[in-house]
């Protein structure tokens, strides 16, 4: 196939894309990006021409027939289409079928040929260089969604990243913040040999294209589910809205859901000096922080402020009410779950310094020394800027998310003068000369056996860690052996 079918298909697909370029370019010239013009006769012609050309391109790629179930709602009925699972760049098929708008990074519009085709469908662009880009993107989605059907529908993949289709991960709230009816849309690639999936590790984009074009036929099924109209409670709670839509789509796909997200997987696989153990509490902590909206946007500034406040408290413990006041949030079941993770003595009191350390690890998992610097500053004595072995144990237990940890070997190795105390300067110097100190001086028996002292039980669908990664990202029976560790890949 590589020497016969592949080059022919690649040539035809590239030719059809080039053929579509002048149509998209002409239709985009002089168009106001903030206003929708009336659909004139020649624009309707361009729209039909582009859909036809794109369909021929997919046909040339082996998608000979596509199964469509259900009916796509009109923009006035459902201004937003939520698609899932998101697993490949071939998920562009439904976009070209309907010429709906999508959310894309702003850099995409500068790509030759492809950028012109992208601009034709009037996407909502996200700029990585703009700190307020996320807020602006949400506002633009709301503006279009609440226009009464004037704008084209917006297709959004609420997972926000590619997965291996073995489950639906946590949905991001962007599609649900406008509080308008949405139409759930599910996608399936039922080929026996999966050449479609583009995940964290495994085949890259070029190899996937090659393998897919070498298949005689590629199956594609898209199903438009009934329009989902949010209740008043869901309108006021985008997370609940997203959660219920995800349940509906998972049922249609007959696959499970997981409350873990792409960010949780980044945390589990972070390349810092403190690699998280199998049974760490921090994945559960990260999930709760995200659902409560406690993850700060300006991470460095917020952590410094928290660190300063915690240092002034000098180890003073807080009850649940005081903890809620500290975070400026109301008491809730999820906040109780977070509180229970740090309530080691079961006295309904926690040390806020432990919360700050855990938040630092979750927000910047690869910056071990930055977290340790923050921790030392909160725990160190004013007279000598040093900490004791018990305080080091508390810091590292929290940073690893385990219930028990023996740090005596590490402490002795650093405290060569046998002073009984450590400064951050000594710790940093030791860590720089021993980058694998966690593996060499902290026994895996201690970090991988005991786990969370108080696992919360109020979180729905919470499951224990079983393999050091997100448990519900199970492998598919792919020809390229998509293992648990390659279940997600950041979408480019």
Encoded tokens for 387: 């900490």
State the CB neighbour count (10 A cutoff) for residue 471: 17
Percentage of the chain with pLDDT > 70?
Answer: 88
Mean pLDDT of 338-342: 91
**Is residue 82 predicted with pLDDT exceeding 90?**
yes
Encoded tokens for 65: 């027939």
Work out whether the CA dihedral 97, 101, 107, 111 comes out positive or negative: positive
Task: Give the model's pLDDT for residue 128.
Answer: 63
When comparing pLDDT for 487 and 54, which is higher? Answer: 54
Encoded tokens for 327: 């975070």
Task: Give the model's pLDDT for residue 435.
Answer: 86
**Is residue 131 predicted with pLDDT exceeding 70?**
no
When comparing pLDDT for 442 and 327, which is higher? Answer: 327
Gap between the Cα atoms of 262 and 169, Å rounded: 8
pTM for the structure as a whole? 0.72
Mean pLDDT of 126-132: 68
Task: Give the model's pLDDT for residue 444.
Answer: 47
Binned at pLDDT 50, 70 and 90, residue 481 comes out as very low
Encoded tokens for 157: 């993949």
Long-range contacts of 433-441 (CB under 8 A, 24+ apart): 435/273, 436/273, 437/273, 437/410, 437/413, 438/273, 438/274, 438/275, 439/275, 441/407, 441/409, 441/410, 441/413
Q: Supply angle C-alpha 385, 391, 395, rounded to 5.
A: 105
**Is residue 451 predicted with pLDDT exceeding 60?**
no
Q: What is the 3-state secondary structure (H, E, C) of the chain?
A: CCCCHHHHHHHHHHHHHHHHHHHHHHHHCCCCCCCCCCCCHHHHHHHHHHHHHHHHHHHHCCCCCCEEECCCCCCCCCCEEEEECCCCHHHHHHHHHHCCEEEEEHHHHHCCCHHHHHHHCCCEEECCCCCCHHHHHHHHHHHHHCCCCCCCCEEECCCCCEECCCCECCCCHHHCCCCCCEEEEEEECCCCCCCCCCCCCCCCHHHHHHHHHCCCCCCCEEEECCCECCCHHHHHCHHHHHHHHHHHHHHHHCCCECCCCHHHHHHHCCCCCCCCCCCCCHHHHHHHHHHCCCCCCCHHHHHHHHHHHHHHHCCCEECHHHHHHHHCCCCCHHHHHHHHHHCCCCCCCEEHHHHHHHHHHHHCCCCHHHHHHHHHHHHCCCCCCEECHHHHHHHHHHHHCCCCCCCHHHHHHHCCCCCCCEEHHHHHHHHHHCCCHHHHHCCHHHHCCCCCCCCCCCCCCCCCCCCCCCCCCCCCCCCCCCCHHHCEECCC
Q: Judge contact between 166 and 487, C-beta under 8 A.
A: yes
Backbone dihedral region for residue 314 (phi beyond 0: left; psi -120 to 50: alpha; all else: beta): left
Q: What is the pLDDT of residues 217-243, one digit of tens each?
A: 999 999 999 999 999 999 998 989 999
Instruction: Return the closest-CA partner of residue 334 out of 414, 429, 259.
Output: 259
Binned at pLDDT 50, 70 and 90, residue 447 comes out as very low
Pick the range with the lowest mean pLDDT from 76-80, 205-209, 318-322, 470-474: 470-474
As a residue count, the chain comes to 492
Gap between the Cα atoms of 3 and 417, Å rounded: 69
320, with CB counted inside 10 A (0-12, 13-18, 19+), is middle
Strand partners, 103: 124
Encoded tokens for 435: 């980058």
Task: Give the model's pLDDT for residue 129.
Answer: 61
Q: What is the pLDDT of residues 95-124, one digit of tens each?
A: 999 888 998 887 777 788 888 888 888 888
**Is residue 351 predicted with pLDDT exceeding 70?**
yes
């Amino acid at each position: 196939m590589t020497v016969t079918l592949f080059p022919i298909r690649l040539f035809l697909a590239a030719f059809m894309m080039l053929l579509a370029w002048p149509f998209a370019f002409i239709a985009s010239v002089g168009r106001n990006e903030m206003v929708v013009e009336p659909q004139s006769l020649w624009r309707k012609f361009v729209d039909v021409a582009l859909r036809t050309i794109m369909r021929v391109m997919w046909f040339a790629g082996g998608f000979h027939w596509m199964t469509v179930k259900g009916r796509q709602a009109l923009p006035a009925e459902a201004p937003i289409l939520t698609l899932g699972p998101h697993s490949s760049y071939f998920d562009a098929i439904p976009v070209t079928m309907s010429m709906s708008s999508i959310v894309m990074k702003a850099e995409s519009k500068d790509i030759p040929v492809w950028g012109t085709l992208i601009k034709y469908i009037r996407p909502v662009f996200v700029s990585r260089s703009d700190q307020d880009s996320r807020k602006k993107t949400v506002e633009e989605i709301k503006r279009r969604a609440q226009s009464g059907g004037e704008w084209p529908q917006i297709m959004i993949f609420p997972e926000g990243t590619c997965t291996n289709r073995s489950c639906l991960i946590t949905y991001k709230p962007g599609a649900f913040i406008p509080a308008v009816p949405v139409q759930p849309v599910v996608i399936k690639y039922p080929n026996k040999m999966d050449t479609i999936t583009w995940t964290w590790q495994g085949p890259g984009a070029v190899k996937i294209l090659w393998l897919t074009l070498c298949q005689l036929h590629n199956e594609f099924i898209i199903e438009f589910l009934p329009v989902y109209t949010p209740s008043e409670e869901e309108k006021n709670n985008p997370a609940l809205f997203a959660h219920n839509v995800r349940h509906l789509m998972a049922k249609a796909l007959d696959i499970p859901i997981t409350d873990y997200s792409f960010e949780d997987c980044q945390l589990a696989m972070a390349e810092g000096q403190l690699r998280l153990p199998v049974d760490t509490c921090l994945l559960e902590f990260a999930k709760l922080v995200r659902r409560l909206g406690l993850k700060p946007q300006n991470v460095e500034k917020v952590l410094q402020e928290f660190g300063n406040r915690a240092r002034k408290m000098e180890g003073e413990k807080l009850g649940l009410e005081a903890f809620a006041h500290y975070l400026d949030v109301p008491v809730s079941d999820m906040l109780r779950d977070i509180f229970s993770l740090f309530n080691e003595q079961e006295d309904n009191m926690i040390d806020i310094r432990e919360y700050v350390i855990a938040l630092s690890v979750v927000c910047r998992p690869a910056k071990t020394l930055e977290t340790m610097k923050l921790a030392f500053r909160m725990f160190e004595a004013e007279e000598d800027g040093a900490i004791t072995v018990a305080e080091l144990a508390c810091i590292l237990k929290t940073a690893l998310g385990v219930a028990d940890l023996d740090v005596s070997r590490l402490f002795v190795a650093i405290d060569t003068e046998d002073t009984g105390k450590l400064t951050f300067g000594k710790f940093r110097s030791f860590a720089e000369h021993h980058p694998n100190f966690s593996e060499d001086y902290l026994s895996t028996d201690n970090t991988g056996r005991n786990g969370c002292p108080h696992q919360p039980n109020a979180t729905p669908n919470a499951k224990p860690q079983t393999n050091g990664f997100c448990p519900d990202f199970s492998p598919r029976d792919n020809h390229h052996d998509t293992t648990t560790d390659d279940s997600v890949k950041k979408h480019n």
